Amino acid sequence: MVLYDALIAPFTEFEFMRRALAAVIVLALGGAPIGVFLMLRRMSLVGDAMAHAILPGAAIGFLVSGLNLFAMTTGGLIAGFMVAILAGVVARNTELKEDASLATFYLTSLALGVTIVSIKGTNIDLLHVLFGDILAMDDPTLLVIAFNTTVTLVVLAVIYRPLVIECVDPVFLRTVSRAGAPAHLAFLALVVVNLVNGFHALGTLLAVGLMILPAGIARFWSRDITGMICIAVISAMVSGYLGLVLSFQTKVPSGPAIILVAAALYVVSVLFGNVSGLVRQMFPAPHLEA
Amino acid sequence: MAAQLQFRDVTLGYDRHPAVHHLSGEVASGALIAVVGPNGAGKSTLFRGLVGILKPLAGSIERGLDIRDIAYLPQTADIDRSFPISVFDFVGTGLWRSTGFFGGIGKSARGKIAQALASVGLTGFENRNIGTLSGGQMQRMLFARVLLQDAALIVLDEPFNAIDTKTSADLLVLVRRWHSEKRTVLAALHDMDLVRGNFPETLLLARGKVAWGSTPDVLTAENLIEARRMCEAFDDGAAPCVAQDTASRAA
C-alpha cells in the first residue's frame, strides 16, 4: 500500500498529475527520437543553442498577447525556424560549419529578443517561459503538444532513411539524391518543434534535457539505431513518470525533478550499460576465438 | 563509341585556386580509364567535379547520363564509423535508386545484398557494426555498395590505397567485371604496374592534362617526369588566369 500511495495514488487522485503524465509521455514520444539523431549527428549542443533561439520568439509572443499559448508557441516556432533555416543555409552554401553558423544566428536572435523586450520597457515575468509548468497543463496545451508530436513522428518517418544515410555517409547521399539538404532542414525544424513542445512543460532551459539525456542513456544499451530510439523513448517516459512522483512527494519543482531522474538513469547507464559501460569494461566477458 | 563525359576547358579548384586547370577531353561510354598523377595533381578534385559535388570555376563538364547513374567511391570516404549501422544495412543503401525514401527491402533486395557481400568476400559480416571492420574490409564493403548501385559510370578514387595485394586483386576482378559489362570506369591510381596491366586508357594529370590516350603511349618516362615537375603550392599572389579571360571573351 505504501508503494501504491507513493507511485500510483498521485495520479489516480489528482487530475493535474494525470495531465502532466500524459504530457511527458507525449513529449518523450516525439523528443527522444529527435534527441537520438541530435546525438548521432554530434549536434547535442545544437539543441541547447536552439533552445536559446526560441526564447526571444516566445517572449515577443508573450509581449504581444500575454500568457497566450498560441502566441508564445508561434513566436517560438518562428524564431527557432528562422535561426535553424538561416544557419543551415549558411552552413551548406559557405565554408562556415553548422555549429559556428548556428552560434552566430542564435546569439543574434537572443540579442534581438532582449532588445525588443527592453524597448517596450515592460517588466515581464518570464519564469513561465524559462522553466515551464508541467503541472499546469490545460487541454489546449496538451493538444498542441500532442499535435506537434504527431507531426514529428510523421515527418521523421518520411525523412528517416536520408537522415540515417546523411549521418553515416553524407557524400554518398549527395551523389545519389538531393534529399540530403531538405531532410536536414526538416530535421532542424523538428528540433525546433520539439523544443517549443518541451518549453511548455519544462521551459526553454530544460526542454532539451528530455531529448538529449535519454539519447545519451540509449547509447549505453544498444548498438542499433532502432534499439536506441526505443530505449530513449522508454527512458524519457520513465524519467517523466518518476520525476513527477519525486516532485509530488518532495515538492521539488517538476521540470528539474524530471531532468534529475533522467540524469540519475544516465549515471546508472554510464556505469552499468552493456555497451561500453564503465563497470562492464572493468569486468569484460572472455574474448571469443574468432 | 559515344562520349559519356565531356570536359570542356574545365577548371576546378578551391577558393579561386585551380586544382584542375583547363582540362578538355572526353570519356567514351564503356571506357576503362586510369587517372594517374602525383599527389596534388587534381585527381580527386576532378572526380568531385565529375560527380557534381564541386562546381567548376570555369568551363563545364557535360554528362551524357543522369548524375544519379554515377557510383562514386571517394578516397577517404567521409564515413562516420561510430554510427550504429550494420554492414548489411550500410551496403543496402546502395539500392537507394530502387528503394528511395520508403521502398522496402524485400526478399529479392536481400538476395542482391547477400550476393554483393559474397562477391567481395564479406559473407558472414552482415550483422557486424561498420566500426568493427578493418581498412581492407571497409573497402570491400564500399565496393559491395558500388556493385548494388548498378551504375553506368563508376568513379573510384584511389581504391587500392593501403589495401593488401590479395584484397586489391579481389577488387580488381570486380573492376574488370564492370568493364566487361560495358560500364564506364574511372579510377585514380598510383601503382603504374597495375595500371599498365589492367587499364587500356590513361589520363596523366598534373593540374593540366599531361597526356591522355592509350596507356603505353601515356605512361612514358618523359611524360611522368613532366608530371612530377608540376607545382603543388597555392600562390596567393597569383594573377588572374589569362586563359580564362581569353575564353570568356571568346564566349
Mean pLDDT (whole number) for A160-186: 89
Contact A132, A2 (CB under 8 A): no
Contacts of B101 in chain A (CB under 8 A): 158-159, 161-162, 179
Best residue in A96, A161, A176, A276 to probe B by mutation, most B CBs within 10 Å? A176
* One-letter amino acid for residue A157 of the chain: A
Asked if A169 and B86 come within 8 Å (Cβ–Cβ), the reply is: no
A80 CB-near residues (< 8 Å, 6+ apart)? A50, A53, A54, A57, A191, A192, A195, A196
Query: CB under 8 Å to B222, separation ≥6 — which residues?
Result: none
* A213: its cell numbers: 539525456
Interface predicted TM-score (ipTM): 0.83
Cβ proximity of A210 and A258 under 8 Å: yes
Closest CA to A145 of A216, A222, A202: A202
Select the residue of A158, A167, A175 nearest B101 (Cβ to Cβ): A158
Cell reading at B204: 596523366
pLDDT in tens, B163-174: 888 989 999 999
The predicted pLDDT at position B250 comes to: 46
Q: Name the residue facing A168 among B74, B85, B97 (closest C-beta).
A: B85
- Chain A residue closest to B73 (CA)? A172
Put simply, whether B77 touches A (Cβ < 8 Å) is yes
- What would the pLDDT profile of B187-210 be if each residue is shown by its tens digit? 999 999 999 999 999 999 998 899
- State residue A11 phi and psi, 5-degree precision: -85, -30
Minimum-distance CB partner of A224 among B71, B84, B100:
B84
Quick one: what percent of chain A has pLDDT higher than 90?
Answer: 39
Nearest to B84 among A158, A169, A223 (CB): A223
Q: Give Cα A248 to chain centroid, integer Å.
A: 23
Q: What is the pLDDT of residues B130-149, one digit of tens each?
A: 999 998 899 999 999 999 99
User: Sign (positive/negative) of CA torsion A24, A30, A33, A35?
Assistant: negative
Asked if B101 lies within 8 A of A225 by C-beta distance, the reply is: no
Q: Which three cell numbers stand for residue A150?
A: 504527431
Coil, strand or helix: which one is A165? helix
Tens digits of residue pLDDT in A20-70: 999 999 999 999 999 999 999 888 888 888 888 887 787 778 777 766 778
Q: What count of CB pairs under 8 Å joins A to B? A: 64
Q: Find how far residue A74's CA is from the centre of its chain.
A: 17
Chosen for mutation from A172, A177, A226, A228 (greatest number of chain B CBs closer than 10 Å) is A172
Q: What pTM did the predictor assign?
A: 0.84
What is the arithmetic mean of pLDDT over A230-239? 97
What is the rounded distance in angstroms from the CA atom of residue A100 to the CA atom of residue A103? 5
pLDDT digits (tens, 9 = 90+) for B17-49: 888 989 999 999 999 999 999 988 899 999 999
| Cβ contact, residue pair A175, B70, below 8 Å | yes
Q: Does residue B246 surpass a pLDDT of 70?
A: no
- Return the SS3 of B114: helix
Residue whose cell numbers read 518541451: A198
Instruction: Name which of A96, A165, A168 to mutate to probe chain B: the one with the most chain B Cβ atoms within 10 A of its Cβ.
Output: A168
What is the residue-averaged pLDDT of chain B?
88
